[in-house]
Amino acid sequence: MKATIISNIQAVRQRIKAACNLAGRDVQDVQLLLATKTVPPEKIRIAIEAGETLIGENKVQEFRDKQEALQDLHIERHFIGHLQTNKVKDVLKYVSCIQSLDRIVLAQELDKRLQSEGRSLDVFIQVNTSYEESKFGVAPEAVETLIKNVQSYGTMHIKGLMTIGLLDVEVEKMRPSLRLLREIRERLGMPQLQLSMGMSQDLEPAIAEGSNIVRVGTSIFGNRFLGKEIWNENENIS
């Protein structure tokens, strides 16, 4: 198991490097986030001890369940799944960043809780660039309004934009939904914003379109079984 995970990380790192070279980008500009939904702590530990430091979970419960087993490790934790407002208090115990801020009511709840705790938080605005009803995220046309609302609170620092591109299609059909996130950043006139996009299936076109964070689970940890179903990180849309 250890050798496989380490070998998979090396393979993904090589894919990132090759994609950066092809796009004329510095590999240091692209972070690898380990998507660890359903991954047991012992597998996460292998990856962290191999040099990875950034993980993302889709469910607050998994942060809680894995906390004790991983508490001795230096890990940066991001929340990358759909966040319900009644989970805000819990998720803030574990994360330094929420990548899935997609609506004003969630921003309001985060602000209220952050004010009560006297702290601030990094966030990404999640955008539904593929316009699929099955996906969460603010509509591209409403990004600017949401950003202005979030900025008005003062408790959240907008670090970037996040999207889940159009999946299960040919590479060139993936590109427009990824390119749109970069174009939104340009339209906003906020070049400092990072772009979080690209997973196992589409990290190369995502890097070509400017991604700064790729969220990879399946290519490192393999498919995970959930009852009778197999999960991969493409399913973090729900």
Number of domains in the chain: 1
The domain spanning residue 130 has which CATH number?
Answer: 3.20.20.10
Confidence at 224, pLDDT banded by 50, 70, 90: low
- In percent, how much of the chain has pLDDT > 70? 94
Taking only the tens place, the pLDDT of each residue in 113-152 is 999 999 999 999 999 999 999 999 999 999 999 999 999 9
Q: What domain range is 188 assigned to?
A: 2-235
Q: What is the 3-state secondary structure (H, E, C) of the chain?
A: CHHHHHHHHHHHHHHHHHHHHHHCCCHHHCEEEEECCCCCHHHHHHHHHCCCCEEEECCHHHHHHHHHHHCCCCCEEEECCCCCHHHHHHHCCCCCEEEEECCHHHHHHHHHHHHHHCCCEEEEEEECCCCCCCCCCECHHHHHHHHHHHHHHCCEEEEEEECCCCCCCCHHHHHHHHHHHHHHHHHHCCCCCEEECCCCCCHHHHHHCCCCEEEECHHHHCCEEECCEEECHHHCCC
Taking only the tens place, the pLDDT of each residue in 78-116 is 999 999 999 999 999 999 999 999 999 999 999 999 999
Query: pLDDT at position 169, please?
Result: 73
Once rounded to an integer, what is the mean pLDDT over residues 20-25?
A: 98
